[in-house]
Structure 1
Amino acid sequence: MIVGVTGVSGGIGTALEAQLTADGISVIGFARNPHPGHQTLDVTWDRETISARVAGAIAPSQLFDGWVNLAGADILQGDVRKLPYLSRLHLLWTTDVEGTIKCTQAVLPRLRPGGVIINIAWDEALTGAQGASAELYATAKAAIIGYSASLARSLAPTFRVGVIAPGWVKTRWAASLSPEQRERLIQQSRSQHWISADRVAGVIMEWLKAPGPSGTVVTVS
């Protein structure tokens, strides 16, 4: 089994690669700033460049069995969080939404019949959450849910499409917050607790190995 993963150098990506590899599954990882052994890929590149990079990552005789669109923009840290509202929306849209679509289009010609595509959303995109960052993030992730639902219908019955929608995941950004900030944020959240990257990775792996009905949204909270 061969699985392609974008955003593999992030927290969830690192956990997912470790779990898949331990289970004997071959992982071809892609990242904007790749670790050794990974492929360089920026999901904001044009579609032709992304397609060439995806096709060149495996032998001509090989096909992917699964594909996970993990790559996403971080609008909560550093100078990015200080950008104007619409600038942060543009960053999320070009990375999370357009990036997911372009990578999906790139992998389809190299995806084995019966293969699985998994996209990443956010559980509060289904319910809404307070604050400017939540508005922006929910907008992008709700778009991914809508795209995935339609994609599932377009690709049926050849391929299956799943959406994993975790709550707040323990990331480098979460570690940078004070205990008071973390508690206040999580008390306002839908899940009411922080979720580990390993837990999210485990749900993704379960869906890759035994996918549910195409178009399903699986919340991890």
Structure 2
Amino acid sequence: MHRENLERSGPMPVAVITGSSSGIGRETALEFARNGYSVLLHAHRNVAGLQETANRIRALPSPRDADTLEARLRCITSDIACPAACRSLVQAAFAWQGSVDVWVNNAGADVLTGSSSSQPFEERLQLLLNVDVCGTIRLCRLVCQELADRSITGGSITNIGWDQASLGMEGEPGQLFCTTKSAIESFSRALAMSVAPRVRVNCVCPGWIQTSWGVEQASDYWAQRATNESLLQRWGTPQDVACCIRWLASSDAAFINGQSIAVNGGRRFSAPPTRES
């Protein structure tokens, strides 16, 4: 199933990246497109962001002159908290090019900066469980079933965890994301044991990544904490995470399975800096 030799004839490999309208998802989509994949982009409500990602991919040079944009790119919007929408997304993805080589479950609910940030704790937790946890689990199982039905082997699934999930973090954000991201990591390991050797399943666990929140909203406290807790003494970037995800899908990582890989520059275990008053 893995088709990295782009000089041979035949279709380009296909990567599906959920939540690819911004941040890590956008950079992951660009990383796969730059490396010769046809890319299916997904978003829920951020249609403008989805179009921006698509436009950036369209601006990339095609790895083969014969490839058309239609063969390289497709955009789909759906709510992965909805079981029927998940089934439709997976069916559409496999129908597009006849198969899927890489599936990246990056989509997640924004409960920190969006309109949901003011909701009560239990409502935010339920949203994360519905979208991040159940959505990821549901999509993984549907993708694996499609691959099995088509007798396809060699696929790669990557889910997104969090480097602090197993360590714990203070405050409501820690309670929310330690709970949900730990569930995703545990499920990823269990799924890898269930579908090997036909499909590889791994979990990438970002640390302090400077997405739009880090650029536009993070206070000096959080900026200091992000750099202090990394051995490389800097924020991570969405590109750092995207490169790891793309590597996991490549033949260079063919013996990497059932793993949770932290992308955090090496974590420094120390007390957080004192908050400003």
The TM-score with structure 2 as length reference comes to 0.74
Letter of the aligned partner of 1:65 in structure 2?
D
CA offsets 1:75-98 (integer angstroms, 9 cap, x no match):
111432221111111111111100
SS in 1 for 2:39: strand
Alignment of 1:1-221 (within 5 A): 1-33=13-45, 34=47, 35-36=50-51, 37-46=74-83, 48-59=84-95, 62-111=98-147, 112-186=152-226, 189=229, 193-209=234-250, 210-211=252-253, 212-221=255-264
CA offsets 1:146-204 (integer angstroms, 9 cap, x no match):
11111111111111100000102111222232541333542675666421001100000
SS in 2 for 1:138: helix
CA offsets 1:115-166 (integer angstroms, 9 cap, x no match):
0110000000021111111111111000001111111111111111000001
Deviates more, 1:28-37 or 1:195-204: 28-37
Unaligned 5+ segments in structure 2 are 1-12, 52-73, 265-277
* Residue 13 of structure 1, CA deviation: 1.2
Spell out structure 1 runs of 4+ moving beyond 4 A: 187-192
Give the length in aligned residue pairs. Answer: 220
2:10 matched residue in structure 1: none
Q: Greater relative contact order: 1 or 2 (C-alpha under 8 angstroms, separation 6 or more)? A: 1
If you compute each CA radius of gyration, which structure gives the higher value, 1 or 2? Answer: 2
Preserved CA contact (<8 Å) 1:7 1:13: yes
Distance 1:169 1:60, change over 3 A: closer
Deviates more, 1:147-156 or 1:59-68: 59-68
The TM-score with structure 1 as length reference comes to 0.91
User: For 1:178 and 1:157, how far apart are their aligned partners in 2?
Assistant: 42
SS in 1 for 2:111: coil
Letter of the aligned partner of 1:18 in structure 2?
L
Distance 1:64 1:164, change over 3 A: same
CA offsets 1:16-62 (integer angstroms, 9 cap, x no match):
1111111111111111134244111211112x332123212343771
Identity over the aligned pairs, expressed in percent?
33
SS in 2 for 1:127: coil
